[in-house]
Amino acid sequence: MPVPTPSEYAKILDVAKEQKYALPAINVSSIATANAALAAFAETGSDGIIQFSIGAGKFASGSAVGDAVLGAVSLAQHVHLMAEKLDVYVALHTDHCQAAELDFVRSLLKKSKERLDGGLAPLFSGHMFDGSALALEENMELALPLLKECGELGIVLEVEAGAVGGEEEGAATTTDKTKLYTTTEDMLYVAEKLFSVPARLMFAATFGNVHGIYKPGNVELKPEILKDGQAAVHEKYGKTFDLVFHGGSGTPVEQIQETLDYGIVKMNVDTATQYSFSLPIAEHMHEHYEKVIQADGDGSKKLYDPRAYLKKGEQGMKERVIQASTELRSLGKTIYKK
């Protein structure tokens, strides 16, 4: 099935929220990692999301080009082509984009408009603006016109208030632990500023989340923040946010599933899938080291052919994506009907 249209994607999110499950949003940076996610969704009959960061787009364009927009377009077109062969929906998002880098999103919005003008669906289903480094007022001042622009194209905008700890794209996101917890007042402020726009919105409210895999006890998650904030928003506006869980790798399953009861419909998965892709490759190299480096001229093309180990990486990552779908209660829950 092709990447969902805006109306199809809206239905996917509505059903997920109603039935209290979330879609795994799998960060990829290459055809091999994209194919791993596609294989997992196809094998299990699960709808899901594939997404790219700016760094992934730049990497995908190759060292000779180094163009994040072009690389993201290339990966997105690959997913569009491959998704047509599947009996599930696979939405496309971009990940963290800070204020100084918003030309990345704006360029991709232009690509989606060109497709719409040609009678096609948008290139992407959703984009993320990460204004968490800004004061909330400035964050929303930038988010508001961007939400309007996305809404005109039928594209979801994801915003964030508070900050996710740890590292994202190799940079520390915050050292202030108070920013790891979005307040009820913050959630009400975001609703006040953005609910007036007739566009689909996702909100990454933070409740102690940290990027990366962490040791038990090093991170204090407080999912009740989501519950309390959503209750206040519903009381005032009669509806709640579609919430996003960032920094989910390493989170105990019971805490993941608690958040599903509070409106989480999307959870980003990156660190865990990177590891699951790389580990089988490391094991392949360790096991076949002398054949791969052609020690004493005695190598094996079958073992150093990149396809030999990339297939193992794809399989390992596919299994981890299936685990994520299972933990998020989305396993087998495509809404696509033949």
Catalytic residues, by residue number, are 95
Taking alpha carbons only, the member of 97, 23, 91, 92 closest to residue 53 is 97
**Count of beta carbons in the 10 Å neighbourhood of residue 304:** 16
**The pair of three-digit structure tokens given for residue 4, joined into one six-digit string:** 């969902």
Taking alpha carbons only, the member of 254, 149, 137, 131 closest to residue 204 is 131
Task: Specify whether the CB–CB gap between 20 and 105 falls below 8 A.
Answer: no
Q: Which residues contact 297 (CB under 8 A, 6 or more apart)?
A: none
Task: Specify whether the CB–CB gap between 201 and 147 falls below 8 A.
Answer: yes
For residue 58, CA distances in Å to 64, 69, 91, 184 come to 10, 7, 21, 37
